[in-house]
Amino acid sequence: MSYTERSRDLFLETGTRFPRDVIWAMGAVKMAAARANRALGVMDPAMAKAIEAAASEVMDGSRDGEIVVDVFQTGSGTGLNMNVNEVISRRASEILGSKVHPNDHVNMSQSSNDVVPTAMRVAAVRASIARAIPALRGLSSALRDLSSRTTSIYKSGRTHLRDALPVTMGQEFGAYAFAFSRDADTLEAALARARELPLGGTAVGTGLNAPEGFAEAAIAELSSIAGVEFRTSPDRFASMRLLTDLVGVSAALRSVALDLMRLSQDLRLMFSGPMTGLNEIDLPNQAEIAGSSIMPGKTNPVTVESCLQASAQVMGLDHTVQLAGMLGEFELSMGIPVAGYDVSLEISLISEAASKLTKVVEGVVPNVERARRYAESSPSLITVISPVIGYERAAEVGKRLAKGLSIRDALRELGFDDRAIDGLLDLGRLVRPGIPARSSS
């Protein structure tokens, strides 16, 4: 009975399987190792070629049905490594026409303790570069475009969900454009450390049973295969016992999730209504699917709510990654399988949520008149005359406004004529720095 078959009775059997990104990375590590072993003269060229060919089938998904170990397994990821070794061994033996051993040959110059943490980092870096960062840049760009086309649309600002001074929609959406651009930068910075790989450290970081130069050769090959630059870790002992760099990637993804949640909440509130909510924007593409099984014609912010749930999931996964990073003692980080799985899932969720939310942002239609009416109705407009009459008197006027007196009538009671009032209530002047009351008095 193979290791993989025996392990299924001992590991948890939850049906949780490693994602494609991780399986690809495992195949890529095995291919890179075979090439390095051949180049260093410790592996027969024909055998190395057979292992490479079998590894390429793991990478392209042809062998996914054979990678069956559960994510919840031995903490080093030995189960995953052995499963992949056995799959490649069987296929390489068929290709070569003679026995290729899973440990002696496929795992040559390696250990689960350096292979699996290497593969998890490769998967995270590669997927982030291919999907998450472009999705975040795309969302930021869409928000910048929306900010540009709503730069002259005035609306009431809100603090504590209460009326505040006016802003423009462009200012609100521009804030999120900046936030997601910064999030992409933060993720890229976090990936820099995750590019440092422990491959070549073998069992405990010393590199025992790997030929001199193996780490450098294998990681150079791995960079070529992945199309992404990776480096040998400056301290393999640290990279094998600590997952701090992956925890950092997860933290960057958690920050993205937080900003996605805030944007989604704002979009959802602005879209609320149409009669009893804010109704400041319309989201036409959300009408492409029924909003209710009982209320005909109802439109709900379905994509936005999907993104809210995905954001919550990412935050939960990040907490697991933090805990997984704490597992282990001495030479082993024991939370490798679940940490790698969760980071990979976080990247998928963030990539999908940002891409789908981009389509929502691109379709935003402002309800211009409604938004302006709110802006001109806010009792907080009294703030603009506070520098002239003083905070205490302005607060008293504000209380009268809250009871129904219009801002214009309140200003007339204070002695302002209509021309001065028009100047004070020029929304274009109220959404930029300065003291309109003094220049209008």
pLDDT in tens, 371-418: 998 888 788 788 777 887 788 878 877 777 777 777 778 778 878 888
Task: Please give the structure tokens belonging to residue 225.
Answer: 């295969």
- Of 299 and 336, more confident: 336
Alpha-carbon gap, residue 209 to 108, rounded angstroms: 8
Q: Can you give the pLDDT at residue 290? A: 76
Residue of 340, 343, 331 lying closest to 116 (CA atoms) = 340
Residues 6+ apart with CB under 8 A from 149: 170
The beta strand positions in 28-176, using DSSP E, are: 154-159, 162-168
Looking at residue 414, its pLDDT comes to 77
Higher pLDDT, 292 or 106: 106
Indicate the pLDDT class of residue 149, thresholds 50, 70 and 90: very high
Q: Is 160 considered catalytic here?
A: yes
Q: Which residues of 406-433 are buried (b: 16+ CB within 10 A; e: fewer)?
A: ebbebbeebebeeebbebbbebebbbee
Q: Give the number of C-alpha atoms closer than 13 A to the C-alpha of residue 107, restricted to the C-beta side.
A: 21
Please determine, for residue 255, whether its predicted confidence score (pLDDT) is greater than 80: yes
Higher pLDDT, 128 or 396: 128
Separation CA 217–CA 197 (nearest Å): 12
Q: What is the pLDDT of residue 288?
A: 76
CB 5 within 8 A of CB 68: no
- Structural domains of the chain, with CATH: 3-108 (1.10.275.10), 121-199+234-367 (1.20.200.10), 376-438 (1.10.40.30)
Which one of the listed residues 98, 152, 292, 377 is annotated catalytic?
Answer: 292
Decide: 185 and 254 in contact? Cβ < 8 Å.
no
What's the rounded mean pLDDT across residues 111-135?
98
Residues constituting the chain: 441
Average pLDDT, the chain: 93
Q: Is 159 helix (H, G, I), strand (E, B) or coil?
A: strand
- Phi, then psi, of 107 in degrees rounded to 5: -95, 15
Higher pLDDT, 195 or 382: 195
For residues 69 and 72, give the distance between their C-alpha atoms in angstroms, rounded to a whole number: 8
Please check the confidence at residue 292 and state whether its pLDDT lies above 90. Answer: no
Residue spans of alpha helices (H) in 244-367: 244-270, 302-326, 336-362
Distance between CA 163 and CA 173 in Å, rounded? 18
Beta bridge partners of 366: 281
What whole-number distance in Å separates Cα of residue 253 and Cα of residue 190? Answer: 10
CA pair distance 235, 287, nearest whole angstrom: 54
Question: In degrees rounded to 5, what are phi and psi of residue 232?
Answer: -70, 140
- Judged against a pLDDT cut of 80, whether residue 293 lies above it is answered with no
CB of 282 closer than 8 Å to CB of 378: no
What is the rounded end-to-end Cα distance, in angstroms, of the chain? 91
* pLDDT tops 70 at residue 438: no
Q: Cα–Cα distances in Å, from 432 out to 170, 311, 379, 436? A: 12, 33, 18, 10
Hey, is 158 helix, strand or coil?
A: strand
pLDDT the model gives residue 67 = 97
Please count the helices (runs of H) and the strands (runs of E) in the chain: 19, 8
pLDDT higher than threshold 70 for residue 1: yes
Phi and psi torsions of 169, nearest 5°: -60, -35
Instruction: Give the range among 160-164, 334-338, 343-347 with minimum mean pLDDT.
Output: 160-164
pLDDT tens digits along 231-250:
999 999 999 999 999 999 99
322 vs 399, more confident: 322
Contact, 310 vs 353, CB < 8 A? yes
**Residue 319 is among the residues annotated as catalytic for this protein:** no
* pLDDT for residue 429 is more than 70: yes
- Give pLDDT, residue 356: 97
Which residues, 6+ apart, have CB-to-CB distance to 254 below 8 Å?
Answer: 314, 315, 318, 346
pLDDT score at 439? 62
- HSE toward the beta carbon, residue 231, CA cutoff 13 A: 9
Comparing C-alpha atoms, which of 361, 347, 407, 404 is closest to residue 380? 407
Rounded CA-CA distance 124/342 in Å is: 10
pTM listed for this prediction: 0.93
**Residue 437 — pLDDT band, cuts 50, 70, 90?**
low
Residue 289: pLDDT over 80: no
Using one digit for the tens of pLDDT, what is the confidence trace for 68-103? 999 999 999 999 999 999 999 999 999 999 999 999
pLDDT at 248: 98
Residues 327, 334: contact at Cβ < 8 Å? yes
- Contacting residues for 403 by C-beta, under 8 A, at least 6 apart: none
CA distance 302 to 54: 43
**What was the pLDDT predicted at 393?**
76
Please state the φ and ψ torsions of residue 320, each to the nearest 5 degrees: -65, -40
Which whole number is the average pLDDT over 209-227? 98
